[in-house]
Structure 1
Amino acid sequence: MTEGLKIENVYTAYDKADVLEGVSLEVRPGKITCLLGSNGVGKTTLIRSILGLTVPRDGRITFNGEDITGLSTHKVIAKGISCIPEGRKVFPKLTVEENLRLGAYQVTSEAVIRERIEEAYEIFPRLKERHVQLAGTMSGGEQAMLSIGRGLMSSPHLLLVDEPSLGLSPLFVKENFSIIERINERGVTIFLVEQNMRQTLAISDYGYVLSKGAVVAEGDAKALSENDEVQQAYFG
């Protein structure tokens, strides 16, 4: 039985100052779990801690029952965790297809890589139309699609999505959230880290609210969206 991702009492510091202060949360298998919070509260630091980019000074991170705290990033990815970073971060001078291939850098079989590229094109027909286009010449929304497609190339069990609405038009934000739902329907567990409270809770099963490096509220997504204290903690 898969146990998903568990963060237990994690403290992560930069220059001896704690950014995360005893964060505990759980990302349940097969679900969309969200972490809400405004800028600078520690959301991206938590993703960095999960990926082994910034090692927690205390606490424990487990995935499917296995301790991955402080594991090197390529080993974390090999466990079945993939990340779509904040701000998309495509390789601008590479084509769409070359960007996708980089997402499968740990895969040795060309047949498997080809199959996963075709799956990405099935989810994003626009990427197939532009497979030879340089990523840097695409719109922000198209680059967001490419970033998600690249994140799926490792065939992850868990997808960490950091601020997918950042810098996008409302139309592309809506499209992106719809795509995240479709990926979840394919069996991929999603941990969605966002500022956009309303749309995030609309597609999530369960949510947490982070403020000043600590979880200040949690609950069923619908209950959170109707909770006055959450609104106050979040917007206040």
Structure 2
Amino acid sequence: MGDKTLDIENVYTAYDKADVLEGVSLSVRPGRITCLLGSNGVGKTTLIRSILGLTAPREGRITFGGRDITGMSTHRVIATGIACIPEGRKVFPKLTVTENLRIGAYQVKAEAAIRERMNEAYEIFPRLAERRSQLAGTLSGGEQAMLSIGRGLMSSPDLLLIDEPSLGLSPLFVKENFNVIQRINERGVTVFLVEQNVRQTLAISHYGYVLGKGRVVAEGEPDTLTDNEEVNQAYFG
């Protein structure tokens, strides 16, 4: 199956015949946090949808671990070892914390494996352990963000796609969530982090890409991107 690199090659994705992504190419290498930066409306979420098979590219190729997943159905993409934390958290409000986590392990048959992964999630997020019987809809925004990440980890993914984890959160919870993402990566999970929060994202990333109007306009290691004049003008004012 190869080395579990996610490769996106010359991808064009369209809605109603209008291209949102125009020839996007990038790689997410195993063991690293790779970020995709860009403002609203440049195509970041469309790229995640393309990877997950929710909106199939009209042109180009997406491979994971050397396997072509372009346009594959979403449940088959997930089965290859990819999980996604969607924008806006999206927990099941009328289910408990524990029930939400179990949904993340829907493809896991062994009860012992589910319990082990749940214990790992509670180890990463002690606050969720304290609230395991609480309805998800009664959690704070930051706690729901934790639950969303914990649920994504329940499938024990090789690659975790995280879409805008700082959206709508207080600065304190943003900092806490970015620390958690870093710890998850240190446990061996590859992360593809899609964000607008440039400073904190570059602080934990190993490599990054900048998307502008459906195209990659810059790429490099964090220091390179911070020093890039185009990136500075667009994001640092």
TM-score (norm 2): 0.98
2:25 counterpart of 1:24: yes
- Give the Cα–Cα distance (whole angstroms) in 2 for the partners of residues 178 and 96 of structure 1: 21
Instruction: Give, as a single letter, the amino acid of the residue that structure 2 aligns with 1:48.
Output: R
Specify every segment of 5 or more residues in structure 1 that has no aligned partner in the other structure, as ranges.
none
What is the Cα deviation at residue 233 of structure 1? Answer: 3.9
Q: Give 2:201's aligned residue.
A: 200
- Give the Cα–Cα distance (whole angstroms) in 1 for the partners of residues 169 and 50 of structure 2: 26
Secondary structure at the counterpart of residue 156 of structure 2: coil
Q: Give 2:187's aligned residue.
A: 186
- Give the Cα–Cα distance (whole angstroms) in 1 for the partners of residues 145 and 232 of structure 2: 28
What is the Cα deviation at residue 213 of structure 1? Answer: 0.5
Q: Give 2:154's aligned residue.
A: 153
Secondary structure at the counterpart of residue 225 of structure 1: helix
Q: Is the 8 A contact 1:140 1:168 kept in 2?
A: yes
Q: Percent identity?
A: 81
The Cα offsets for residues 68-107 of structure 1, whole Å up to 9 and x where unpaired, read as 0000000000000000000000000000000000000001
- Give the Cα–Cα distance (whole angstroms) in 2 for the partners of residues 192 and 215 of structure 1: 15
What is the Cα deviation at residue 234 of structure 1? Answer: 4.2
Q: Give 2:43's aligned residue.
A: 42
TM-score (norm 1): 0.98
Instruction: Give, as a single letter, the amino acid of the residue that structure 2 aligns with 1:215.
Output: V
Q: Does 174-183 or 218-227 show the bigger shift?
A: 218-227
Specify every segment of 5 or more residues in structure 2 that has no aligned partner in the other structure, as ranges.
none
Matched residue pairs, number?
A: 236
RMSD of aligned Cα (Å): 1.0
Q: Give 2:233's aligned residue.
A: 232
Judging changes above 3 Å, is the alpha-carbon distance between structure 1 residues 129 and 3 closer, same or farther for their aligned structure 2 residues?
Answer: closer
Q: Give 2:167's aligned residue.
A: 166
What is the Cα deviation at residue 3 of structure 1? Answer: 4.4
- Give the Cα–Cα distance (whole angstroms) in 2 for the partners of residues 144 and 9 of structure 1: 32
